[in-house]
Amino acid sequence: MASSSSSIFTGVKFSPILAPLNSRDSRRSGFIKDSRSKVRFNPAAHHRVRVEAQSLIPYNGLWAKQTTNKGRWKRNIVLGERVTQPSLSQGRSFCLTCRKTQPGIRRRSLPGAFLDASSFPLSRKSSSLGKPSQIVRATVGPDEPHAAGTAWPDGIVEERQDVELLPPEIDAAELEAFLGCELPSHPKLHRGQLKNGLRYLILPNKVPPNRFEAHMEVHVGSVDEEDDEQGIAHMIEHVAFLGSKKREKLLGTGARSNAYTDFHHTVFHIHSPTHTKDSEDDLFPSVLDALNEIAFHPKFLSSRVEKERRAILSELQMMNTIEYRVDCQLLQHLHSENKLGKRFPIGLEEQIKKWDVDKIRKFHERWYFPANATLYIVGDIDNIPRIVHNIEAVFGKTGLDNEATPTSSTPGAFGAMANFLVPKLPAGLGGTFSQERTNTADQSKIIKRERHAIRPPVEHNWSLPGTSVDLKPPQIFKHELLQNFAINMFCKIPVSKVQTFGDLRNVLMKRIFLSALHFRINTRYKSSNPPFTSVELDHSDSGREGCTVTTLTVTAEPKNWQNAVKVAVQEVRRLKEFGVTKGELTRYMDALLKDSEHLAAMIDNVSSVDNLDFIMESDALGHTVMDQTQGHETLVAVAGTVTLEEVNTVGAKVLEFVSDFGKPTAPLPAAIVACVPTKMHGEGVDESDFNITPSEILDSVKSGLLAPIEAEPELEVPKELISQSQLQELTLQRNPCFVPIPGSGVTKLHDKETGITQLRLSNGIPVNFKISQTESRAGVMRLIVGGGRAAETSDSKGAVVVGVRTLSEGGRVGDFSREQVELFCVNHLINCSLESTEEFIAMEFRFTLRDNGMQAAFQLLHMVLEHSVWLEDAFDRARQLYLSYYRSIPKSLERATAHKLMTAMLNGDERFIEPTPKSLQSLNLESVKDAVMSHFVGENMEVSIVGDFSEEEIERCVLDYLGTVKASHDSAKPLGSEPIVFRQPTDGLQFQQVFVKDTDERACAYIAGPAPNRWGFTVDGDDLFQSVSKHSVAHDGLLKSEDQLLDGSDRELQKKLRSHPLFFGISMGLLAEIINSRLFTTVRDSLGLTYDVSFELNLFDRLNLGWYVISVTSTPGKVFKAVDACKSVLRGLHSNQIAPRELDRAKRTLLMRHEAELKSNAYWLNLLAHLQASSVPRKELSCIKELTSLYEAASIEDIYVAYNQLKVDEDSLYSCIGIAGAQAGEDVTALSEEEEPEDSFSGVLPVGRGSSMTTRPTT
């Protein structure tokens, strides 16, 4: 699951210490669709750049952003995530082997003045130190905050544990005593334990309302498998989950269920309404009953085992991408001394083929029992005793009949994790259950059940000081599918539990220190031509790996690798030797406190799943769990005790494995691993062999150790980008004001129902805003500029996308340098992204309203529009980057296949794919500048803002900073668009194949065809609304009788839907859900031809076209049958009529998503898009106001009206099959200069530990 987060300390990974932030879980979105292996056709490429501020507090929504795959490693080795009901974008279930990145354990995207995320994307404040909190503690271990007792003490009162700030004067002894105090625990988190050992945690949480999460975590994973059981935990996950009849009964209730397997645990989870929609029946018992059956009482039927065996074998082949193989290499060397380097959750093919039902059942009997599991329930809960009663009623008797008494052991020896995992039983703590006879169980019924005191149960070789003799030589993984050089230096140490104020203080100091390093590297070298593509420093705890790993990752073009390593080591040394400056300490500390305050204010907007994931990972690591308010108060309390000297001392220790490399006092790296291509591009076009040796790697590191270094100079950071005097002058010159909105005769249109206000400035810029308090003191703003890549001409191919990238690479505005702009954003907690699509260029800002954050964001927008600086070296870097993207296409099976399909379907139109080398060479700085700036005409721009501001505040900012923008730029010119056409069938390119040379076999396919746009316009110029009333379904039966049953009001609703401008958007969305569900049921589940299949619609707003795409992965032997089966499903909607239950389920899925998203500012921003755009004339306020009623009014006949607009005949449908393998036909080694690649601009192929270990959708 790819995930991401944005905060002040971008690019630096940390463990979850405080609390998660509200979000649509960006990590969980990875459960639904793994974008790493998926080619995006919606549209082909988004080219995005960002300036961002990153949070101390792990956080994944709200400010969450799409991140590139570039140089990322999410240390995820999780198997299997499934959604058994049509999910957010597909009507099927999923299994992801690295299904998520835990809070704080994910790679942030690199910082920069408009960072690229292309995906073709104390100070002393008042508080109070209260009494130690009354929390329920376990009796199984001394003072372990993560272990719960079996009973609640009488008279427990939920009360916040306020934190008192230290007095202004405090001596060393008092400070030491304060830092030794325990951190407060989450006041609302309830823990308990049943007699059978099952632990449970309950947290009331109101977001989303009337829903809850129930996760059953069984403490068994791939590291518990024996040599002949590799992958069996994942197999059980599949069989147990999909074989549950009680889970299936929940499908009609609006519940969604998933599961995944990791190194250290298997998790089954259900996201459910609290009550059924019609009867208001309590769903908690049914959900718990389903989890009980799945985890502890599965039916291991031979038929289900065989079906899942086929599915897992298909999954294994599908996920065996080059990214996965890189991850395996990194883990193998990092954990060469234990099972983590060998036991990957997906397992081994030859073993998966052999296991019988008895073998699988025995593994389940050994590990899957209540005392080895934890139940998490987080959601809209009002009556906790009732939930506890339900848990006892459902799970209380499980495991009591045949469990033996555990042997005794010393509880305190295992630490928090041991006490968390091991149940409170009279005989104490044991590693395994004995088979002695008990009073309650017969000898024959006793099963040897195992559990480990420490999770994961592995021993590590820590990075300790040593000599060069002890150093493991650098390892080199070379593969023909790799495009870039990447090296990883690992340092592995035990996890430091964060349980006291002193622990938190150390985390804070490390964050400041390491963030300074990241910022320095990625700003200093962005101002020149850097030898590296990226340099990233990762310092994070991993519950799944049971250790803390610090990693320096350097990626570069192969020809620059030595200089890239040298520079990275040199910068690490500089920071270690000279430390952070006083200015950096002040700056980052201030930003952290602002960010923390902002997150604390949003405590009531944190989603249940975010809270649950955070708690689960924190418990696994032994960290104290705090809520957002506690997190901020404790941070404020320790921040005032931090000194510059201590920050530099603590931080330096983290870097010693690099900065002091080779010295006897330095920790030895746990591993040094280089992942490199077999070929490299020189100055010309031809490739040459790329060779590298371990000694050369060590020499490059040593060269960085010997290079001269100087202290970092202090940098002046602007407090504002536009002074008051400059603003007054601009106001006098431009005289900004609001003018009547076309067609209304008024200067302000306000809709009370939605809270949306529409304005128009005198320079022509339309403005939409909505005041929303769902995200406290936070706001988002988006500028949309019509045109995009579709406005590129035949002699300026690639000009827009390269121009946007050039703007981002430069990062300068006016007289301010890139560094100053970035630090301005850090100080004001601003995230800024710049993006180009086929239809438009967009800038998006996320900001806090504290300390003039909104005003700062508007100033930055004004400066970009009025005073952007275009630099020649930034253009060179942008062009080189896209050249690298292009060259990487033949190395990716998915991208090469998609590229060929899109080229054929769109007649080679380069506007929908990456620019070719020939096109790139024809560009220059002036041409790309003109291509971008020509779009910036007042009436062609639209600004939308959503946030917790006042009407007066927003209108003042709009007038001051948008109203003073010129109506047009010197380079502005009328926007034109060369026609877009789908290739004619006479060209014979409907079916094609791609062959990629690879050591392992894989296959994928894409099937695509034309569709109308969202508003009923087609590529042929037809307006479907002119004939929509004439559309009728070409068969009778169900639809006709259904229509006859409609009463007058229903007919009126249907008539209203048919005439509504969003008719095709609504009906097409429902159609996509239905097709997705059918594809999964038929192609995956019934026929067993694939592990992952999906249907997606790409409906444009401004362009008069759209297309649909079916993506399917398979094996070379099955892929042709899979394609045929997909076509049959796509074309079979008339012969196999849509059933009312299918439409009901699709409606429920989309409405649930809509209702959940309404609390998100970002979602409202999407709803406001194009509301006043002249190029989208049919977008109106009713498209937002009536969205729910439009979905509810849709009938099956409406879906067929939409379906009939998809061209699915043999002449219109395009397909391309990609096959990789040693014997895979011809080798795709290059693309011609006239061909163009598809796929999002994913940048450098992901190279990093864990970035692809997730298994994909399983069910």
- Distance separating alpha carbons of residues 1051 and 1065, to the nearest angstrom: 20
Alpha carbons 425 and 141: distance in angstroms, whole number:
12
Cis previous bond, 456, omega within 30:
yes
Helix (H, G, I), strand (E, B) or coil at 679: strand
What distance in Å separates the CA atoms of residue 343 and residue 367, rounded to the nearest whole number?
17
Taking the C-alpha atoms of residue 133 and residue 136, their distance in angstroms, rounded to an integer, is: 9
How big is the CA angle at 1190 (ends 1188 and 1194), to the nearest 5 degrees?
Answer: 120
- 680 has which bridge partners? 688
Q: How far apart are CA 108 and CA 514, in angstroms?
A: 13
User: Looking at this protein, which amino acid is placed at residue 528?
Assistant: S
Dihedrals φ, ψ of 1110, to 5°? Answer: -105, 125
The residue from 293, 308, 656, 822 that is catalytic is 308
Would you call 308 a catalytic residue per the annotation? yes
Residue carrying the six token digits 């399909």: 901
Q: What letter represents residue 12's amino acid?
A: V
Strand order in the sheet with 1214-1221: 991-997, 1214-1221, 1002-1011, 1106-1114, 1092-1099
From 81, 237, 894, 942, active-site residue: 237
CA 184 to chain centre: 30
420-450 CB burial, b ≥16 within 10 A, e <16? bbbbbbeeebbbebeeeeeeebeeeebeebe
Residue 725: CB partners within 8 Å, gap ≥ 6? none
- How far is CA 727 from each of CA 309, 730, 959, 964, rounded to the nearest angstrom? 68, 5, 11, 8
Are the beta carbons of 142 and 652 closer than 8 angstroms? Answer: no
- Rounded Cα gap, residues 275 and 381, in angstroms: 11
Place of tokens 């002193």: 502
Residue among 582, 558, 938, 530 at smallest CA distance from 760: 938
CA distance 1104 to 1115: 36
Nearest to 963 by CA among 804, 791, 763, 1131: 763
Q: Which residues are paired to 217 by β-bridges? A: 267, 374
Assess contact for 61 and 610: CB atoms under 8 A. yes
323 assigned to active site: no
Output the CA–CA distances (angstroms, integers) from residue 536 to 539, 559, 926, in the order listed. 10, 20, 33
- Which phi and psi angles does 965 have, rounded to 5°? -85, 140
Angle between helix 582-601 and 818-828 (nearest 10): 40
Give dist(CA 137, CA 150) in Å, integer: 9
| Cα dihedral 530, 531, 533, 537 in deg (nearest 10) | -90
Q: What is the β-pairing status of strands 190-193 and 211-218?
A: unpaired
Helix (H, G, I), strand (E, B) or coil at 738: strand
Q: Which runs of E-coded beta strand occur in 598-724?
A: 671-677, 679-681, 687-689
Which residue type does 551 have? T
Question: For 655-811, where are the E strands, in sequence order?
Answer: 671-677, 679-681, 687-689, 748-751, 756-760, 766-771, 778-786
Which residues have a catalytic role annotated?
A: 237, 308
